[in-house]
Structure 1
C-alpha cells in the first residue's frame, strides 16, 4: 500500500482528470465512488486498476481489500479534492472502460434504446429501472450523454454493473434490429400515436425513449410504433426516466 499526502501527486491529478470526458476517452478509464458502488464493481467482472481510500476510511471501516489491486491510502483533505461528490464516503476505484460495441440482440430478450438522452441522472435512472424490470440490455444512440459520467454511474445505484449497456448504436443498427424481428415501440407526443397499453409488447420488442427536450428523432419515429402515455393534468410531458419506467413495466405486465 502506498500513501498520498499531497494533491500535487501524479496519481491524485490523474484520478481528478477522469472527471472529464476527454480524459476518460484518452485513458480508457473512469472512477466510481462510495462503498456500495465499489463493492458492486468488485463483485462484477469489471477490471479495477486501483483503489483509493482516505485515512479515516482505512482506520475506521472494516473493508476487505483485494490483494491483486493496487491500494492507495490518501490524506483526508487530499482525498476530498480527488472526488466528484461533495460528501465522499472515503473510497473510490478506477475502472477500465469495456468495449461494448460488438452486440447482436436476441429476439427472446428485452431491450430499451435511449435516443440522445442528455441528462446523466436520467440515463442512470433508466439503467437502474431496466435492471429492476429484468431487461437484458440498454442501448445508447451516438448522441447520448457519456455513459461513464460520475453522475450516470451514481444514479444507476449499482445497476451499472449488472446491466449490459451498449454504446454507439446508430439508427442504421436500430433499423437492422427491426429487420431481424424486433418491433420498435417509442414513447412520443402527437397525433399519430396510440395509447401505450394498446401496443402488443408480447412480441420481440425494443422500447425507445427520446431526448428530454425534443423527444424521439424523426428518423426513429419513422421506424417505430409511437405510443402515448396519457397526461391528465397540466404538465406538458413526463420526465424521460419516468416515461421509460412506465413503458418497461407495461412490457413486464403484458408478459407476466
Structure 2
C-alpha cells in the first residue's frame, strides 16, 4: 500500500501528465475501468495497474503488476473529476505507417476533445488510419484519450509532415479531399474515389493553404440554419461516413 504522495512511483505517475515526460518514457496513463479494459483487449502493452484501496477489481487485473494506493494518493495523480479507482501505465505502440484506402489527416487541431472525438469517429466509420500534422495536440493527452473512449487502441495513428504525406498518398492513387468554406464544392456533389484521404484543419484557421493547393477536391458542408460553421469533429464525422458509404 502506497500512502505517501512523495513516493517515487507516484511522482513518476504525475510526470506522465506532461507531454515531454510521456515522449521521453514512451509511456502514458489511462484511467477508469472502460479505458483500461479497452487497452487490455488491444495489442498495446499494459505495464502496471494502480488501484485505489477498497476498489473492486476484476480477476484479470491480477495478471498484471499491481500497486495499491490510498485514496488521497490516487486523487493526487488522477485527472478525473470522479476517479473510479483504477489506472494503468501503458507503453506507446510503435506504429511506423498506416495502411488502407481511407485516411483522416488532421492539420493543427488544438482542442483535445475534438481530436479524441475524431479518432473515435474514424474508428467507428471504418477508416483505416489517422495521420496527425506536427502542430496538432498530443494524442496521449488525458483529455484526448478520454474523448476517444478507447478507439485510440483500435485504429492506427501516426504523426507526419502532412505536405510530404499528401504528396506520397497522391502517388499511391489517393483522392485528396480538404475542407474549406471558400472556393469549395458541396461534399455530396463530389464523386468519391476508391482511395480517399480527408484533410481537416484547425478550429479557427482551417486547413493550411499549402495543403489546400495539394487537394484534388475542396469540399464544404452546407449550413441551412444561422450557425456560422460546424464543429470540426462533427464535420469530419459527416465526411468520413459519406466517403465510406
**Coarse TM-score class (shorter-chain normalised):** over 0.9
Q: Which residue of 2 aligns with 1:78?
A: 73
Give the root-mean-square deviation of aligned CA atoms: 1.3
- CA pair 215-226 structure 1, distance change in 2 beyond 3 A: same
TM-superposed deviation, 1:97: 1.5
- CA pair 84-204 structure 1, distance change in 2 beyond 3 A: same
Q: Which residue of 1 aligns with 2:236?
A: 244
Write the deviation string for residues 44-99 of structure 1: whole angstroms up to 9, x where unpaired.
11111111000021xx34442142x3100010111111111121111000111222
Q: Is 1:182 aligned to 2:178, yes or no?
A: no
Q: Which residue of 1 aligns with 2:22?
A: 24
TM-superposed deviation, 1:195: 0.5
Q: Is 1:148 aligned to 2:143, yes or no?
A: no
Are the aligned partners of 1:209 and 1:215 in contact in 2 as well (CA < 8 Å)?
A: yes
Are the aligned partners of 2:45 and 2:91 in contact in 1 as well (CA < 8 Å)?
A: yes
Partner of 1:26, secondary structure, is: helix
TM-superposed deviation, 1:233: 1.9
For residues 150 and 82 of structure 1, the distance between their equivalents in structure 2, rounded to whole angstroms, comes to: 12
Q: Which residue of 2 aligns with 1:217?
A: 208
Are the aligned partners of 1:122 and 1:240 in contact in 2 as well (CA < 8 Å)?
A: yes
Can you give the 5+ residue segments of structure 1 that lack an aligned partner in the other structure?
A: none
Partner of 1:45, secondary structure, is: coil
For residues 166 and 122 of structure 1, the distance between their equivalents in structure 2, rounded to whole angstroms, comes to: 17
For residues 171 and 103 of structure 1, the distance between their equivalents in structure 2, rounded to whole angstroms, comes to: 16
Are the aligned partners of 1:138 and 1:164 in contact in 2 as well (CA < 8 Å)?
A: yes
- CA pair 151-42 structure 1, distance change in 2 beyond 3 A: same
Write the deviation string for residues 108-159 of structure 1: whole angstroms up to 9, x where unpaired.
x211111111111101100110111111111111111101000111000111
Partner of 1:203, secondary structure, is: coil
TM-superposed deviation, 1:5: 0.9
Q: 1:65 aligns with which of 58, 61, 68?
A: 61
Question: Structure 1-normalised TM-score?
Answer: 0.92
- Aligned residue pairs total 244
Q: 1:126 aligns with which of 113, 118, 121?
A: 118
For residues 61 and 30 of structure 1, the distance between their equivalents in structure 2, rounded to whole angstroms, comes to: 21
Are the aligned partners of 1:105 and 1:177 in contact in 2 as well (CA < 8 Å)?
A: no
For residues 173 and 249 of structure 1, the distance between their equivalents in structure 2, rounded to whole angstroms, comes to: 22
Question: Structure 2-normalised TM-score?
Answer: 0.96
Q: Is 1:195 aligned to 2:186, yes or no?
A: yes
